[in-house]
Structure 1
Amino acid sequence: MSGKNVGIKDVAAAAGVSATTVSHVLNNVASARISRETRERVRSAAGQLGYGPDSVARALRTSRTALLGLAIEDVGAGPHAGQIILGADEAARARGYHLVVINVPASATDGSASDESREAGVESLLKRRVDGIMYAPLHFRQLPGPANLGSVPAVLVNAVSTNGSIAAVVPDHDGGARDAVGCLLAAGHTRIGFINNADGTPAAQDRLSGFRGALSAAGLDGGAAPVDSVPVVSAPPAESAQPLEQGGYEAARRMLARANRPTGLVCHDDRVAMGAYRAAAELGLAIPANLSVVALADREGIGASLYPALTTVALPLAELAARAAEILMDAIEDTSDTARRANAKEVTACLLVKRGSVAPPRGTATPRGNF
């Protein structure tokens, strides 16, 4: 096999390691934990096959630029964008690629970009001759496009296409909700409520499905845990400055004012949990003595700043982006892999972050007042 036809997977096969390990060795990634023996084996295999990681030479040889594009909606909205960029950049650099990031402006009303903005962001990356593109909204969504995304290998991050035509890497919202319920069950709770988001998004549907599935598996799908009657957060008034907090507050007031109130509460979002904290305080219910709370989606440091600190299920955004970059680079380097992954969807597990908002049900305080 001549050097000009050798790829990273050939070196990996010869050395008996993964392509990522080869990239880490040949690009001298300092943080990679690889033994000296493995490093020597990789370098020996690369030398025998005539392979080198020189990106300029590779671009001339393959007509590729070694550039990955990342179009991300509303970069300045918070640290979630930074996590996505960091995950994608680290994965790209480990294999000798460079990341080009484009901001796609989003609407201030619903946090979503228009079709025109999405297509303009993708077009901007295509003009830079990127080898492939990742597209990432800040909030999990079903996307109809962008229509021009399929002109190069592409992967959606934290989103799925409406027709399933684009590869996607998404959080396990169902599993995250099951973990949240499991945390409360492990603490001894049997009356568990759920405040979901009423927007009907796939994330809201999956979280409700996971919540109900976890209670059913524990034999609590009726009686003590009235699953089918669990209230869902209603759309807040348009003039509300903090819609999710207000929605969480109103739903929690309704739920916690009942005589047979839950002792454990799962919230769709950390901001919903903020509203639930306020409702519990007004009703004279201490957290976690009288009410344990777990939220989904660890956002912007909210959970750690509440008192007591909020137990939450964190979205693995950096991991999603890194995995999306790996899929994209595999597709760029192997056309058969491109076809195989054209409409694949991978689900990445979320992480339960335990803090101070969960304890065994030991209080029987009666809520104050009426709602």
Structure 2
Amino acid sequence: MAESTRARILDAVDELGYSTNAFARSLRSGDSGIIGFISDEVASAPFAGKLLKGAQELAWATGQVILSIDTYNERALEDAAVEMMLSYRVRGIIFAAMYHRVMELPSSLAGAPVVVLNARDGAGRVPSVYPDEVQGGYAATRHLLDAGHRRIAMINIQAPDSVLPAGIGRLAGYRRALIDAGIEIDPTLVRPGLGIVEDGMEQARILMQQPDAPTAIFCGNDRTAWGAYRALERLGLRVPEDCSIVGFDNQETLAPYLDPGLTTLKLPYEQMARRAVEILLDEQGAAPLINPIHCSLIPRGSVASAKVHA
């Protein structure tokens, strides 16, 4: 083609605002510029919607788009979503969960580029990106230790026999921080729960009515912490003057609005999602299978220095 003809064509393209048909482009190059995002309820759950936001932001910045489907944990819907996305020749698929758990991937994903997000691949075959629960539990407890507390309780968010990674990891971090500080773990200070306000109220009441009550409580999530606040108030006690409290999740509709504001650990939704996209876009395929992401401490007014006991 003559250079003058080529120039006229390009000028016409600019004038008409012509854009390439994505599907036709994928047929030619094998790359549709689409990343599939399959989740249980992430896209429709405001609390975890930042997963989708983080993925969309990095995808857009790198010239990709996100095709998202919620399947509500129905295997038939999962298989249909996978089939549809593969027909679109997606660059890869992010398989996300609303809460941190070990999941079994659909067999229809076999052979496709996949990253598990906010969960772990039970078979250990594909990369998994999830919050570092142990580090978060350690950071929460360390923050209380640094404030001078030595009798620190924990109200967990699941039963002792639960296999969910969040409660297991946060409890392990709590224990590790105490051991590193040379403090013997008192089993009477570790209470089970289900991550609900009512359990926080009940377990905090039990803890604070012990003869040697804790001066601080690490709550396994913010709802539990809210319950602990209410229990202390009913007992005529104050946060943090009589007991410091740290939560987990940084639930933005709750944590900043407690009185005082709740010191808590932030779940790294957007950072996890960006990491998942980075792994899919890495042409070298060198990402590790295990990708725990740091949980940041958000300090507010619920922690004070420990009282000096006579």
> Normalized against structure 1, the TM-score is what?
0.72
Q: Which amino acid aligns with 1:161?
A: D
Indicate how the Cα distance of structure 1 residues 267 and 172 shifts in structure 2: closer, same or farther if over 3 A, else same.
same
Q: Give the match for residue 5 of structure 1.
A: none
CA distance in 2, matches of 1:118, 1:278: 41
CA distance in 1, matches of 2:89, 2:277: 17
Q: Give the match for residue 344 of structure 1.
A: 289
Q: Give the match for residue 233 of structure 1.
A: 192
- Superposed counterparts of 1:61-80, under 5 Å: 62-74=29-41, 75-80=43-48
CA distance in 1, matches of 2:151, 2:31: 57
Deviates more, 1:314-323 or 1:355-364: 355-364
> Normalized against structure 2, the TM-score is what?
0.85
Q: Give the match for residue 179 of structure 2.
A: 216
- The correspondence for 1:155, drawn from 115, 124, 140, is 115
CA distance in 2, matches of 1:166, 1:87: 20
Q: Does the Cα contact within 8 Å between 1:141 and 1:159 map onto a contact in 2?
A: yes
Q: Give the match for residue 305 of structure 2.
A: 360
1:216 deviates by 0.3
CA distance in 2, matches of 1:173, 1:127: 36
1:289 deviates by 0.3
CA distance in 2, matches of 1:234, 1:196: 5
1:122 deviates by 3.0
CA distance in 1, matches of 2:57, 2:247: 29
Indicate how the Cα distance of structure 1 residues 120 and 60 shifts in structure 2: closer, same or farther if over 3 A, else same.
closer
Q: Which amino acid aligns with 2:264?
A: T
- The correspondence for 1:308, drawn from 248, 253, 260, is 260
CA distance in 2, matches of 1:220, 1:154: 43
Q: Secondary structure at the match of 2:156?
A: strand
1:61 deviates by 5.2
CA distance in 1, matches of 2:153, 2:292: 26
Q: Give the match for residue 119 of structure 1.
A: 79
Q: Which amino acid aligns with 2:270?
A: A
User: Structure 1 residue 86 and structure 2 residue 53: aligned?
Assistant: yes
Aligned-residue sequence identity (percent) comes to 34
Indicate how the Cα distance of structure 1 residues 265 and 148 shifts in structure 2: closer, same or farther if over 3 A, else same.
same
Q: Does the Cα contact within 8 Å between 1:131 and 1:152 map onto a contact in 2?
A: no
CA distance in 1, matches of 2:65, 2:244: 45
Q: Give the match for residue 194 of structure 1.
A: 154
Q: Which amino acid aligns with 2:179?
A: S
Indicate how the Cα distance of structure 1 residues 361 and 317 shifts in structure 2: closer, same or farther if over 3 A, else same.
same
Q: Does the Cα contact within 8 Å between 2:155 and 2:193 map onto a contact in 1?
A: no
CA distance in 1, matches of 2:109, 2:244: 44
- The correspondence for 1:298, drawn from 250, 264, 268, is 250
Indicate how the Cα distance of structure 1 residues 72 and 55 shifts in structure 2: closer, same or farther if over 3 A, else same.
same
CA RMSD in angstroms, aligned pairs only: 2.2
1:278 deviates by 1.0
Residues 110-136 of structure 1 deviation map (CA, whole Å, 9 limit, x = unaligned): xxx243443343334334331210011
CA distance in 2, matches of 1:156, 1:66: 20
1:186 deviates by 1.3
Q: Does the Cα contact within 8 Å between 2:35 and 2:65 map onto a contact in 1?
A: yes
User: Structure 1 residue 100 and structure 2 residue 100: aligned?
Assistant: no
1:250 deviates by 1.4
Q: Does the Cα contact within 8 Å between 1:233 and 1:248 map onto a contact in 2?
A: no
